[in-house]
Structure 1
Amino acid sequence: MQRKTEVDVVALVTSPGHNYWFHSTDPSVGVGPHPTSYPESVDVDAGLGIRGDRFYGKVSRLASAVSFFAAEAVEAVEDELGLARGAIDPRLARRNVVVRGIDLNALRHNDFTLDCGDGPVAFTAAGETAPCAWMDDRLAPGARAALRGRGGLRALPTTSGVLRVGPAQLETAADVQPERAGHRVRRGRLP
């Protein structure tokens, strides 16, 4: 049975190249020259990803062509690290689609659609998007550890369409519980 859930696309993030290649205590080391954009809408192509993004059409990355991140995960990290709400910009995680109201862990290895008003875009979810060492440099010290088990979701688009910032509708057969958005899931318990 398909379930429909009202959600929000908080932000969209694209970059034509990968900027963070290795961890360094010096934030200027290993940072690439590619600009990061925060568009109001993006074009998604089936089997390829988001047009203009660094993972678009990359054969080695097709299962993870589009990445999703829960805004609630950032709020949980802020709480865990004793930071004020709003201290961390969720866009800095450089996940393509920042959402609110989606239990991303429940979507792993499931099909889902996201309709931002221009028709549904279908995805097949792969696994977790593990937080990298750069999270400590770009978000806050301790963010990488705090994001384990809630670092996001990788997915392959199976239809083409448009995603927009704003209200959206998620449709999936997965048991998505919006109140669990941003909760940590231990690796052994990931679907």
Structure 2
Amino acid sequence: MTAIEIVGFVVSPAHAYEGRPGDGPLPVPTSTPDEISIRAGHGVVGDRYAGRAAHREAAVTVLAIEALEAVAAELGVPPFDPAAARRTILTRGLEVEALRGREFTLDSGDGPVRLGGGRPAAPCAWMDAVLAPGAHAALRGRAGVRCAALSSGMLRLGPATVTVADGLGEPDPARAGEPRRRRARV
């Protein structure tokens, strides 16, 4: 069990980053609530990825705020608005990229919420438009992890703990970032 901090949440009912970055984001309301409700097999209540079959194993995204801070420093720009990265859960003190292929729980005081770390949350070209030129390339390999909601519960801003399931889902370095392959139906 490791002590961390949950520093932000981003919940949006629709995609804001569609089309060409030069056209600007769509005027979609995005909330940065103090707490979120996660439902097993569904995702974050009220979020654009919740309940969508294509996102069942990737309905929740987790990002380390330190990655955004490092990229801003490397690019020589002021700190970014973390909400612009559009990741569901923003943390401090958590090695997010190490969670790929592992089950873990987050607990901010209302009981543990179990998540299954999956593929990387790859940055898109929009990051150059909404964060800073060069952010898209600079975020590769550290833009967070997409996760499946394996249990239901509440998460709140502030101090939290993370527990990683020992020995379960050890990531295979040779397959890091590789999408899951589906078996063909016969």
Q: TM-score, normalised by structure 2?
A: 0.87
**Aligned amino acid, residue 176 of structure 2:** L
Q: What's the offset of the Cα at 1:90?
A: 1.3
Contact 2:77–2:132 (8 Å) recurs in 1: no
- Of 97, 113, 124, 1:105 maps to 97
Pairing 1:38–2:24 present? no
> Residue 105 of structure 2 contacts residue 164 of structure 2 at CA under 8 Å; is this kept in 1?
yes
Q: What's the counterpart of residue 121 of structure 1?
A: 113
Aligned residues: 172
Distance 2:38 2:47 in 1: 10
Task: Give CA-to-partner distance per residue, 1:76-111, whole Å, 9 cap, x none.
Answer: 101210124xx2111110100000111111110100
SS in 2 for 1:72: helix
Aligned-pair Cα RMSD in Å? 1.7
1:14 aligns with 2:6: no
Structure 2: gaps (5+ residues): 168-172, 178-186
Match of 1:26 among 23, 26, 31: 23
Query: CA offsets, 1:43-90, max 9 Å, x none?
Result: 100000000000010001111100111100011101210124xx2111
User: Secondary structure, in 3 states, of the residue corresponding to 2:37?
Assistant: strand
Relative to the length of structure 1, the TM-score reads 0.85
Stretches (4+) displaced over 3 A: 187-191
Give distance in 2, aligned partners of 1:130 and 1:23: 17
Q: Which amino acid aligns with 1:156?
A: A
Greater Cα offset, 15-24 or 41-50: 15-24
- Tell me the residue number matched to 2:182: none
Structure 1: segments with no counterpart, 5+ residues: 176-186
User: One-letter code of the match for 1:124?
Assistant: G
Offset at residue 154 of structure 1 (A): 0.3
Q: For residues 82 and 95 of structure 2, what CA distance do their matches in structure 1 show?
A: 16
